[in-house]
């Protein structure tokens, strides 16, 4: 059983997507358990952009690493992305509930109340403690 | 007196125009428009907070148009293109104004009006709560917004939406929306 789980765990591919004018940089690293989303997220079709990420998390959830570190550092995002970002957190919540700790770091710029509040919105829905990290300009 | 588009224009262009566009609203146009306002010196010199609000609300307004607008009526003094809309961003005194204009079929008027009136009637706290409710329900359209667009704009700007409906002909209304950011 151990070998099987191990095999699944190591077979998780790492996904790296460079940022574009409308989509964020994304790094999904199954081996070290790191999920990173940085930049802006304003695509017209967010579902299409986020689907591979949700799929990856679903697979990762079958054999997660001992600990998962999530870094969300968004400049801003459109309402079409907001639901997809919630879907990501819901996937992570499932992993956390199963006993594999997930740490979420939510970054926001010093005077950016909108991004801070967006973090609060997700925190009010998701049962994982968020670490709110203020960045200096 | 019928509706005069050029009067509407001159009204919305009061102040310093950062960007104006009329024509087909496409994903590429949205990218270009955003890149263009990012070069604007007024905005570059703004505090992070204001600058990001303007970018964010500007994109939301354009994507609202992209997802919802139609062909203009045949008799309208504008180019015949699908997804026809107008957007004007100007700095007027201490605030930024984003104005959008588009033609809608008469029968959509009540729906749009009710939507905006509802959002405008809410307190800040109610806006926040409703936003969270809609975010967490599963009734999202393919377009993704599921009614969050207008709420998000009101929440980020802290201002009510100003709208006008102008009768264009028997079939069409010109819908004008102003959003203020300060």
**pLDDT per residue as tens digits for the range B69-89:** 878 888 888 888 888 999 999
Question: B85 touching A, CB under 8 A?
Answer: no
Question: B149 touching A, CB under 8 A?
Answer: yes
Model pLDDT, residue B86: 96
Interface of A with B in 105-134 (CB under 8 A): 109-115, 117, 121, 124-125
pLDDT at B174 over 80: yes
Total Cβ atoms within 10 A of residue B77: 8
pLDDT at B1 over 70: no
Which residue from A46, A78, A125 is facing B132, i.e. has the nearest CB? A125
pTM for the whole structure: 0.91
Contact between B48 and A124 using a beta-carbon 8 Å cutoff: no
Contact between B144 and A75 using a beta-carbon 8 Å cutoff: no
Q: Using CA atoms, how far apart are residues B10 and B14, in angstroms rounded to an integer? A: 7
**Mean pLDDT value across residues B37-55:** 90
Task: Show contacts of B74-80: CB within 8 Å, 24+ apart.
Answer: B75/B169, B76/B5, B76/B103, B76/B168, B76/B172, B77/B5, B78/B5, B78/B22, B79/B22, B79/B23, B79/B24
Question: A48 touching B, CB under 8 A?
Answer: no
For residue A120, give its domain range: 2-135
Question: A75 touching B, CB under 8 A?
Answer: yes
Which residue from A21, A109, A117 is facing B31, i.e. has the nearest CB? A21
**pLDDT per residue as tens digits for the range A79-135:** 999 999 999 999 999 999 999 999 999 999 998 999 999 999 999 999 999 999 999
Model pLDDT, residue B140: 57
**pLDDT per residue as tens digits for the range A29-64:** 999 999 999 999 999 999 999 999 999 999 999 999
Contact between A112 and B52 using a beta-carbon 8 Å cutoff: yes
Q: Are A9 and A65 contacting, i.e. CB atoms less than 8 angstroms apart?
A: yes
Model confidence at B23, in pLDDT bands (50, 70, 90)? very high
Question: A82 touching B, CB under 8 A?
Answer: yes
Return the residue of A nearest to B29 by Cα: A44
Copy the structure tokens of residue B178: 């102003």
Q: Using CA atoms, how far apart are residues B71 and B85, in angstroms rounded to an integer? A: 9
The total number of structural domains in chain A stands at 1
Enumerate the residues of chain B whose CB falls inside 8 A of the CB of residue A41.
none
Q: List the beta bridge partners of residue B96.
A: B91, B181
Total Cβ atoms within 10 A of residue B61: 21
Copy the structure tokens of residue B141: 């359209």
Which residue from A45, A76, A84 is facing B52, i.e. has the nearest CB? A76
Enumerate the residues of chain B whose CB falls inside 8 A of the CB of residue A75.
52
Percent of chain B whose predicted confidence (pLDDT) is above 90: 75
**Mean pLDDT value across residues B7-34:** 94
Contact between A21 and B35 using a beta-carbon 8 Å cutoff: yes
What CATH number is given to the structural domain containing A96?
3.30.750
Question: A135 touching B, CB under 8 A?
Answer: no
Contact between A113 and B59 using a beta-carbon 8 Å cutoff: no
Instruction: Report ipTM (2 d.p.).
Output: 0.90
- Nearest CA to B18 out of B92, B101, B100 is that of B92
CA A41 to chain B, closest CA, distance in angstroms equals 10
**pLDDT per residue as tens digits for the range B108-143:** 999 999 999 999 999 999 999 999 999 998 665 555
**Domain B5-105+160-181 annotated CATH 1.10.1060:** no
């Amino acid at each position: 059983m151990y070998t099987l789980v191990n095999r699944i765990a190591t077979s998780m591919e790492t996904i790296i997507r460079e940022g574009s004018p409308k989509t964020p940089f994304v790094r999904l690293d199954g081996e070290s358990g790191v999920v990173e989303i940085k930049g802006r997220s304003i695509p017209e079709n967010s579902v299409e952009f986020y689907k591979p990420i949700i799929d990856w998390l679903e697979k990762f959830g079958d054999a997660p690493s001992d600990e998962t570190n999530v870094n969300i550092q968004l400049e801003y995002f459109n309402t079409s992305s907001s639901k997809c970002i919630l879907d990501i957190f819901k996937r992570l919540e499932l992993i956390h509930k199963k006993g594999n700790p997930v740490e979420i770091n939510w970054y926001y710029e010093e005077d950016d109340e909108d991004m801070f509040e967006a973090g609060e919105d997700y925190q009010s829905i998701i049962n994982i403690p968020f670490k709110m990290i203020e960045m200096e300009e | 007196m019928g509706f005069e588009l050029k009067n509407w224009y001159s009204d919305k262009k009061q102040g310093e125009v950062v960007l104006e566009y009329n024509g087909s609203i496409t994903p590429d146009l949205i990218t270009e428009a955003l890149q263009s306002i990012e070069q604007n010196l007024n905005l570059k010199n703004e505090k992070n907070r204001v600058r990001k609000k303007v970018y964010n609300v500007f994109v939301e307004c354009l994507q609202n148009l992209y997802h919802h607008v139609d062909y203009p009526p045949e008799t309208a003094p504008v180019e015949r293109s699908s997804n026809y809309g107008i957007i004007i961003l100007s700095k007027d005194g201490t605030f930024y104004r984003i104005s959008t204009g588009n033609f809608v079929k008469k029968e959509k008027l009540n729906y749009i009006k009710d939507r905006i009136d509802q959002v405008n009637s809410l307190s800040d706290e109610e806006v926040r709560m409703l936003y969270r409710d809609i975010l967490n329900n599963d009734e999202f359209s393919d377009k993704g917004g599921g009614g969050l667009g207008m709420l998000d704009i009101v929440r980020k700007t802290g201002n009510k939406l100003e709208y006008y409906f102008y009768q264009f002909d028997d079939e069409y209304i010109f819908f004008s929306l102003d959003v203020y950011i300060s």
